[in-house]
Amino acid sequence: MKNIAFSFKNVSFTHSNGQEALKNINISASAGESIAIIGPSGSGKTSFLQLIATSLRPSTGSMAVFNVDPWAISKGQLQRLRSQIGLVHQAAPIPPRQRVITAVLAGRLGQWPFWKSLVSLIYPVDISGPQLCLQKLDLADRLFDRCDRLSGGQLQRVGVARVLYQKPDLLLADEPVSALDPVLSDLTIQCLLADAQTRNACFVASLHAVDIALRWFPRIIGLRDGEVFFDLPASEVSESLLQQLYAAERGVLPKQDNVNTL
């Protein structure tokens, strides 16, 4: 029997303003799977990832992460569960005056004892680990730079390096290459995929560019209006199906060559 990384059963989520972001989601994923989430703007991709990350709680339905209901355990157990989940944000929440090495070390804060976490904010407790993660992303030479001296694309890769350093069992990424050119986009996705595959971690990424999703991910989930429009192997995702998914955007498929980069 496969190890289940996460599962949703009839999950819906409504924001505090009454806007329904997700409706009746039934999805599960196993350890070692790599999945791309695609769909037009406002389809619920970010909310979907935040639910998996336990940053949001379902309004209705039930969910489990590693066969555990996150909302039926103690705060301490939930904290330990969250330390197994890594989320790459589209805009990494990194303090501008922080140095790159400190930002990467923050990936382990949820796993280290309090004293080590505190020391790491003052003096790097590890140098080679963050340097290796940054090297994979062509950023090793910025190890001791301040984050406010980096471009948007470089900051995005620092956020990726932080999650690579964390080594989570469930790796999530919300538009992780939105600020990168095609070459760096492919490099970054390759790094995330390789890291997940090495550790048999489940990797789920929301992506704006459809061609990146189809090129690198074996399983594609299409969201539209907060619902699962399809959940298929990449080889079965046809041009016609994609046109239907993006019908609200006049059928214009977002791809690397028509997505603005920074």
Neighbours of 232 (CB within 10 A): 14
Structure tokens at 71: 């909302």
The residue ranges of DSSP E strands in the chain, in sequence order, are 4-14, 20-30, 34-38, 60-65, 85-88, 170-174, 202-206, 219-224, 227-233
How far apart CA 45 and CA 48 sit, in angstroms, is 5
pLDDT value for 252: 79
pLDDT value for 60: 97
CA distances from 238 to 41, 215, 232 (A): 20, 13, 10
**Residue ranges of the chain with pLDDT lower than 50?**
1, 260-262
How far apart CA 81 and CA 139 sit, in angstroms, is 30
Main-chain phi, psi angles of 63, to 5 degrees: -140, 160
How far apart CA 5 and CA 91 sit, in angstroms, is 25
The CATH number fitting domain 1-84+169-188+198-262, selected from 1.10.3470.10, 3.30.300.130, 3.40.50.300, 3.40.50.150 = 3.40.50.300
How far apart CA 187 and CA 150 sit, in angstroms, is 18
What ranges do the domains of the chain cover?
Answer: 1-84+169-188+198-262, 91-167
pLDDT tens profile 79-111? 999 999 999 999 888 989 999 999 999 888 767
Percent of the chain as helix, strand, coil, to the nearest 5: 40, 25, 35
pTM, rounded to two decimals: 0.92
Task: Residue 208: name the closest of 178, 242, 238 by CA.
Answer: 178
Helix/strand number for the chain, H first, E second: 9, 9
> Residue holding tokens 């037009």?
40
pLDDT value for 260: 47
